[in-house]
Amino acid sequence: MNKEQFLQILTHYLDNEATKEEEEFLHAYYNLFIADADVIALLKYKETEKLKLSMKSAIDHRIDQPIKPARRLQLWPMIRAAAAILLLAGGGLFFYEQRTDKSQLITNTSPVSILSGSNKAILTLSNGKKISLTDAANGVIAQQPDIKITKSNNGQLVYTVKNDMAFLTNNPNAKAILWNTITTPKGGQWQIVLPDGSKVWLNAASSLTFPEHFTGNVRKVQLQGEAYFEVAHNKSMPFHVSSLKQDVEVLGTHFNVNAYDDNPTIKTTLLEGAVKITRPEKNGSQILKPDQEAILSVNDIKINNVDAQDAVAWKEGVFLFNDDQLDDIMKRISRWYDVEVEFKDREIKKDRFSGTVSRFAQISQVLRKLEVLGGVAFKIEGRKILVQKK
């Protein structure tokens, strides 16, 4: 069964024109996906993604299996909802290719165990002292004259201002700006609560530089890599995120910035509020609205309408590939699993793939999902992933 045949069955089902065999087919898949443990682990992700992931998981396992009668459940509304979501996706999120013989799947020539990423980071204080947040005990890990830095029980790094923020804001020269930097390695992530109460989720192989306290009339941080921000509202003190050749200005909002230096573009995606995107070395700016994404390249800033939740799937523990090039996908896998990637056939770098899988799955499971889509094969040698045409 291919994608077109599957979508045709969905259409028949929603139009009440499905044959008995087609109904049994969809009921069988529904029975599978509501019992899928991997799906249950991802229930925190948005409802539509849950349904799409669930149906995809079932199809991955059974797409070329003969249709078998299934016990009918009194869950018609949910089945119709799942069918409607997949039909609206139009196959754009998932490709249903013929299953590949499992004997051709991933070759692993090394006993090295490649684990998924986890909470790992280094905090560098203004005096140059480095603190491993991974190894630090919960509680106060450092104190500055006006700041207490705490590692909370749930792994957050929390900055608490001892002095009155109003005093610091109204007296911009009262304190010199002292900068701290939190850095995640490959295979690491961390969450920070900044001195103003803003929350930041830092993805793998990223760094955030920020002052120990915000003074004056602006709150400014510097990002390399990827982070999701929930900025505390302060109309009189705009929040600025500088990354490579871009500046994002906000008052209080939720947004994601992807600014890795090995990517040709910077992506800023807005979930709530409004942000202004500027290029310091060039004139002009762009205002983003919710569910819009700015893509900054060497030549311009392009604005696209998107589903903003897709951009923060990583924060919820999900890899979401939406017609993404294999080169970009392998960069994400490399950062999260801390592996080296080598393309044996460079022409497949631009091949596009779509799908969803837990970021906490074994790397072999992630690669297998890509192999099942066809056209690519992987070989694991120690901590190196070789990518080639199938």
The more confidently predicted of residues 95 and 334 is: 334
The more confidently predicted of residues 373 and 163 is: 373
Q: What is the pLDDT of residue 66?
A: 47
Fold of the 118-310 domain = Jelly Rolls (2.60.120)
User: CA triplet 220, 181, 185: central angle to 5 degrees?
Assistant: 125
Question: Tens digits of per-residue pLDDT, 192-213?
Answer: 999 999 999 999 999 999 998 8
Looking only at the bridges linking them, the beta strands covering 118-119 and 130-132 are: unpaired
Task: Report yes or no: 218 and 237 within 8 Å, Cβ to Cβ.
Answer: yes
Q: What is the mean pLDDT of the chain?
A: 80
**Global pTM?**
0.75
Centre a 10 Å sphere on the Cβ of residue 27 and count the other Cβ atoms it contains. 20
Of 257, 228, 229, which is closest to residue 243 (Cα–Cα)? 257
Looking only at the bridges linking them, the beta strands covering 179-184 and 122-124 are: antiparallel
What are the backbone angles phi and psi of residue 236, rounded to the nearest 5°?
Answer: -85, -5
**Is residue 44's pLDDT more than 50?**
no
**Is residue 285's pLDDT more than 80?**
yes
Position 3 confidence tier, pLDDT thresholds 50, 70, 90: low
**Is residue 378's pLDDT more than 50?**
yes
pLDDT, mean of residues 12-25: 78
Position 354 confidence tier, pLDDT thresholds 50, 70, 90: confident
Looking only at the bridges linking them, the beta strands covering 147-151 and 157-161 are: antiparallel
The more confidently predicted of residues 37 and 387 is: 387
- CA–CA gap between residue 238 and residue 42 (Å, rounded): 35
Domains 102-114+317-389 and 118-310 share a fold: no
Q: What is the pLDDT of residue 284?
A: 76
Least confident range of 74-83, 86-95, 206-215 = 86-95
Q: What is the pLDDT of residue 225?
A: 98
- Which CATH number does 102-114+317-389 carry? 3.55.50.30
The distance from CA 287 to its chain's CA centroid, rounded to whole angstroms, is: 23
Q: What is the pLDDT of residue 81?
A: 55
Centre a 10 Å sphere on the Cβ of residue 280 and count the other Cβ atoms it contains. 8
The more confidently predicted of residues 379 and 26 is: 379
Q: What is the pLDDT of residue 151?
A: 96
- Domains of the chain, residue spans: 3-89, 102-114+317-389, 118-310
Question: Tens digits of per-residue pLDDT, 124-149?
Answer: 999 999 999 999 999 999 987 778 99
